[in-house]
């Protein structure tokens, strides 16, 4: 589903970050402003189509190697990195960390969060709902040569998820504009970490290659909690760590103002509407690091955003806001 994004121009936020750095404040990013509510946009009624995109390549980031394996086609693998946590991942204390997929800039993709996945789109990467799709659905995509990303909401409670009762009421904030959802108090790491670990265990156990964590910029919205940019940085880095402990690649969803401080923690980016708000250039650090940027627009015509997207090497397409099967790639 389409998510709300921050309303204030990101350039203003980046300027605040520079001013904070000049004042001597260590590692403190700019604060984002209140969210931008999305509006529905009707998409063309045609069926799915595949689009061009170069396949992922192999990369070996720094860090201790845990041993390589060969994954299914559609992307390459890389050795996991990250600082030691001093604690084994939930349910995986005795198993070696698997290798991790690294999607490359320009790779074509499909993003379908509305219902069970339709495997008919001929692209090497699928991003689908982690709860609504089974291990068999993931295995089917793997047999077809695809890499598969697990969509998980990490920033809001959802009353329609099977683990909804595991979240104490004390971490539930105000509504986020989507029916049945409430913001989470991301400062409550001791409470939220084990819940997110179990969700990422589900993604791993179903065979997903990566995670798309949603709502990673709560600090920029009216959540009902006094969240700061530092709170968000801490939480987002924790989310990346949880994924990497399980051998899963992980994407940074939106949160453009914090990209300079988070690009090295994440394996790719997922962005909504950077062209509409003239922000796509802010995603350049991911491409420069050899990491894919999966990008969608909902209302801009492809003739308006695709030339810039190609120049920036983004994996871009036009989608319906409900994120059904239909797509129009650049």
Give the pLDDT of residue 121. 97
pLDDT number for residue 95: 54
99 falls in which pLDDT band (50, 70, 90)? confident
89 or 281: which carries more pLDDT confidence?
A: 281
Nearest to 167 by CA among 178, 179, 151, 156: 156
Which has the minimum average pLDDT: 7-16, 186-195, 208-217, 294-303? 7-16
Q: How far apart are CA 198 and CA 233, in angstroms?
A: 21
Check if the beta carbon of residue 214 is closer than 8 Å to that of residue 151: yes
Q: Measure Cα distances from 321 to 76, 108, 113, 247 in Å.
A: 30, 19, 10, 31
Collect contacts of 273-279 with beta carbons under 8 A, ≥24 apart.
273/5, 273/297, 273/298, 273/300, 275/300, 275/304, 275/305, 275/308, 275/309, 275/316, 276/300, 276/305, 277/9, 277/10, 279/10
Q: What is the pLDDT of residues 221-271, one digit of tens each?
A: 999 999 999 999 999 999 999 999 999 999 999 999 999 999 999 999 999
pLDDT band of residue 96 (cuts 50, 70, 90) is low
The region that residue 207 occupies, defined by phi over 0 for left and psi between -120 and 50 for alpha, beta otherwise, is left
Q: In CATH, which superfamily holds the domain spanning 104-330?
A: Aldolase class I (3.20.20.70)
Strands 147-153 and 210-214 turn out to be parallel
Q: In the chain, where are the structural domains located?
A: 104-330
Amino acid 92: pLDDT: 43
Three-point CA angle 130, 132, 137, nearest 5°: 80
Average pLDDT for 318-323: 97
Say what the pLDDT of residue 300 is: 95
What radius of gyration do the chain's Cα atoms show? Answer: 19
**SS3 for 108?**
coil
* Average pLDDT of the residues in 136-148: 98
pLDDT at residue 115 in the model: 84
**Tokens encoding 112:** 């379908």
Who wins on pLDDT, 276 or 33?
276
Distance of alpha carbon 215 from alpha carbon 176, whole angstroms: 10
What helix, strand, coil percent values describe the chain, rounded to 5? 30, 20, 50
């Amino acid at each position: 589903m389409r998510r709300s994004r921050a309303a204030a121009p990101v350039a203003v936020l980046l300027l605040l970050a520079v001013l904070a750095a000049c004042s001597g404040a260590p590692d403190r990013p700019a604060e984002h402003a209140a969210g931008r509510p999305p509006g529905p946009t009707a998409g063309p009624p045609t069926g799915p189509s595949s689009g061009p995109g170069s396949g992922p390549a192999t990369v070996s980031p720094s860090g201790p190697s845990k041993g390589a394996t060969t994954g299914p086609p559609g992307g390459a693998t890389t050795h996991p990195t990250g600082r030691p946590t001093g604690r084994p991942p939930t349910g995986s204390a005795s198993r070696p960390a698997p290798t991790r997929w690294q999607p490359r800039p320009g790779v074509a993709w499909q993003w379908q969060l509305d219902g069970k996945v339709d495997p008919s789109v001929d692209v090497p990467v699928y991003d689908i709902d982690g709860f609504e799709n089974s291990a068999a659905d993931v295995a089917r995509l793997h047999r077809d040569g695809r890499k598969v990303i697990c969509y998980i909401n990490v920033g809001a409670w959802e009353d329609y998820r099977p683990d909804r009762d595991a979240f104490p009421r004390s971490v539930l904030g105000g509504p986020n504009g989507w029916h049945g959802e409430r913001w989470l108090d991301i400062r409550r790491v001791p409470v939220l970490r084990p819940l997110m670990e179990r969700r990422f265990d589900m993604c791993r156990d179903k065979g997903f290659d990566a995670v798309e964590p949603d709502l990673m910029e709560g600090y920029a919205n009216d959540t009902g909690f006094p969240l700061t940019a530092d709170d968000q940085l801490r939480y987002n880095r924790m989310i990346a760590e949880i994924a990497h402990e399980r051998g899963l690649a992980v994407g940074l969803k939106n949160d453009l103002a914090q990209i300079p401080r988070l690009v090295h923690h994440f394996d790719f980016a997922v962005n909504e509407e950077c062209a509409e708000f003239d922000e796509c250039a802010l995603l350049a650090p991911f491409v420069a690091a050899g990491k894919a940027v999966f990008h969608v627009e909902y209302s801009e015509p492809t003739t308006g955003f695709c030339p810039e997207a190609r120049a920036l090497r983004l994996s871009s397409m036009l989608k319906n806001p409900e994120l059904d099967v239909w797509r129009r790639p650049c």
